[in-house]
Amino acid sequence: MRKEVVVAAVATVSTVVMAGVLLVRWKKRDERRWRQTQRILRKFANDCATPVPKLWHVAFDLVSDMQTSLSDQSQTDYVMHPSYTSSLPNGTEEGFYYGVNLREDNFLMLRARLSGKKEPITDLDREEVDIPSEVISGTYKELFDYIALKLAVFISINTKTNPITPKGKLGFTVSFPLLEGPAAAGRNVITWNTFSANDTAGKELAQDFNEALEKHGIDLRVSTLVDATLGDLAGGRYYSGDCVAAVTLGLATNAVYVESSQFVPNGRSKHGEMVIDMQWGNFNTPHLPITQFDMALDSESSNPGCRIFEKLIGGRYLGEVVRRVLLKMAIETALFGETVPAKLKTPYIFRSPDMAAMHQDSSENRDTVQEKLMEVFGITNTSLAVREIVTEVCDVVAERGARLTGACIIGIMKKRGRINDRKSVVIIEGGLYEHYRVFRNLLHSSVWEMLGSSLADNVIVEPAHGGSGAGAIFVAAAQSQMNEPASASFDSEGKDDERESAIANDDDPVDMAEWKDDDQTDTASWKDGEVDQMEDSTAEISDQSEISSDQE
């Protein structure tokens, strides 16, 4: 009996010892995994880093590409589109106007009053209509016929409550279409890429739409279909003659700006200025902080090698980059448990609104992060440390996108020579800017860091006026005034518009030529590594950015 007791005791001790050994091993394994998680995060953050000198590299590369595109598009892969026949409001427009904003799978109809004197929009009526799948997969004419049918009802309802005759023009803007992810599957109508006002395709489509309007008895006409970002610029110009650029920051991205026509080959404009559709989603430079996750995303996309900048800042892609980083951690470090969550392997399942909700979660236990992990990926019971890692990944991706956006906004202002002593307004529209507070704050702070406190107030970044799609109203107003001399952006003698002196001062041929030469030298010096010799202070970087200020 005593022998059996001894054997049992020894067995028990052995079991306890073995359990202790296993616990130690598991603890060491978990520690190794956690250290690997930290290494992945640190490397990713380092690869995404956007210090101010790098931002200036990006800004100057954009300026160089803009100059080349304007002078000789055959010498660059980055092509901008001049809008030769476009017109912008000047704040004197009055009356009721109608607009249509076409999105990927819906469109917005608007009606609003402009009262001139740069007064805000009033009496705004808007209605969003989903486009049936059979219409989306049909032809342009079927799509336009459907829009015209709904527009006829919209006009009929609103004119009964306020029977004022429209001024004859209809603004038609197209929000940049998405060609990536599940939403693009099976659709062959909304696949255009750009709508410059001089674009033949835009005018041909406008003709088709006008036929649909006539068919449904609508006494309105469209001059051309334009990118929605141009509509935002039109809205900005209605309120301020200092508005020189507009940016769309939503699921996709684009930018337009006002250029002096003298710097555009064959650029004839009675207003002395032209709108340039930048298509900046196509911008690329070796100075962009691209990681292994971005390269994998690009190679697996429907357009590999294209729209690289958009894949770094567009709302469609921010969440996808975060997902790919988390998936690597889940596979290599068991961040979410021994089994990799199945939904974490699904491309584009993680959207920017979910990312914003996680990133902006300020609760003590990151409760929103846990809710979103469960809702999107089916991940339960994470520790606070894991939730903090998820938040940090979101922060790295958002910070990179926001700061690169700020750098390219500064690049546009540098191209226009408006940084030193001219105030400039840049309008931004899109859910990424409007609803992602941290992203918006990071963008603003990058502008301040690049310019320093002495110059930052010269670049004013503000949201679009009237909300999403309202640019179509301002496009209609501008087109309605094109044939009315009294309302033209510049009168025949150029004396009555307060913007004439601003344009003249901004684009003086001699000053601009000197700036252009100096800037090219400046850009070259940065590329040759002189930036590395600078002291890392915001003020001195700002001074470098304006190295040709004396000539300007």
Q: Record the pTM.
A: 0.81
Number of helices and strands (H, E) in the chain? 18, 11
Cα 527 vs. chain centroid, distance in angstroms?
A: 27
What one-letter code names the amino acid at 371? E
Which pLDDT belongs to residue 479?
82
b/e burial code for range 45-83 (CB count within 10 A of at least 16 → b): beebebebbbbbbbbbbbbbbbbbbbeeeeebebebbbb
Element (H, E) at 326: helix 315-333
pLDDT at 194: 42
Tokens of 117: 């004197």
Averaged over successive runs of 10 residues, the pLDDT of the chain (552 residues) comes to 55 59 67 92 97 97 94 81 76 89 89 86 89 85 92 84 61 67 41 45 79 91 86 92 94 91 69 86 96 97 93 96 97 93 96 96 94 96 94 98 98 92 92 94 96 93 86 88 44 33 32 29 35 35 36 34
Give the pair of three-digit tokens for residue 401: 């996108």
Closest by Cα among 356, 354, 397 to 377: 354
3-class secondary structure, 268: coil
Output the pLDDT for position 302. 87
C-alpha–C-alpha distance, residues 112 and 98, integer Å: 7
Q: Is residue 258 within 8 Å of residue 242, measured between CB atoms?
A: no
| Coil, helix or strand at residue 90 | coil
